[in-house]
Amino acid sequence: MRGAALRSRRAGVGAVVLAAVAALAVIAPSAVAAPRVQEPAVPAPAGWTYTGGDEFDGPALDTDRWNAYDSVGAFGNGTRHPSAISQGDGLLTITARPRQDGGTSGGMALGEGQLYGRWEFRARTDPGRGYSSAILLWPDSEKFPEDGELDMMEVPSDKRTAATAFVHYGADNRIVGTSRDGDFTQWHTFAMEWQPDRITWFVDGRKAWETTDRAVIPTTPMHLCIQLDQGPAVNWMPAPDASTPDEVRLQVDWARQYRTS
């Protein structure tokens, strides 16, 4: 498990967060409309009402719905460019290139968040040392770690042999969570239910972990982020090296969010 002071997720550490927020402000549309709510073809899970997300069926990323990062990378490593994000054949792809400009990758955030709900997605990651896929909920307030963070899928191992879920909480960035072994170069579905009295993590439709400790549960709105993060990060992942492929991809088939009915 990671140390308590590794990063602020959106862009790196300390002042890097301010740079990322400023960058997002520059690339955001001048008049930001609420994300369009287009119901997916599949029915909502029992007890839940669809509130947003993306099936990634269009020819390009919907920038009315998503903000693509243009900033220093995670943990202060490399950079994030909107050009790393592509869409086609019903898939979102974020492509990291370790030998381009000190390492480039990408990330994106979905509009405004909501307080409590269910988030689910289907994803896979190419193997490659020095990169970790990260699909998470980040506080709308941008106050990390005070307002928490919910990591719904992080896969830092070179060969993608384990997926992790974490809850960050408290001003000193304490962490609770778990991991699940498997081959995460293959497609898997993930879900997280965040309620006032519990947080539950699911992998391939099965409950994999839960906490009912109210002291760790965030209490402010959060929004969905999809990222491919570059190392090194102490006690978490190394830097890319000669073994890292020229391209490492995170692919997402769909992402959906719900409120209780």
Between 15-24, 95-104, 203-212, 216-225, the lowest mean confidence (pLDDT) is in: 15-24
**pTM higher than the cut 0.75:** yes
pLDDT band at 236 (very low <50, low <70, confident <90, very high): very high
How does pLDDT run across 27-39, given as a tens digit for each residue? Answer: 333 333 444 556 7
Q: What pLDDT is recorded for position 86?
A: 98
| pLDDT computed for residue 39 by the predictor | 79
Q: What is the mean pLDDT of residues 73-102?
A: 97
If pLDDT is split at 50, 70 and 90, which confidence band does 9 have? low
Residue 203 makes CB contacts below 8 A (sequence gap 6+) with 163, 180, 182, 188, 189, 190
Compute CA distances 126 → 4, 7, 156, whole Å.
27, 23, 11
3-state SS string for 188-226: EEEEEEEECCEEEEEECCEEEEEECCHHHCCCCCEEEEE
pLDDT at res. 55: 97
pLDDT at 252: 98
pLDDT, average across residues 187-193: 98
Model confidence band, residue 18 (pLDDT cutoffs 50, 70, 90): very low
Q: 123-145 pLDDT, tens per residue?
A: 999 999 999 999 999 999 999 99
> Which of 17-31, 54-68, 88-102 is predicted least confidently?
17-31
Cα maximum dimension of the chain: 50
**Distance of alpha carbon 74 from alpha carbon 36, whole angstroms:** 29
Q: What are 46-67's pLDDT values in tens digits?
A: 999 999 999 999 999 999 999 9
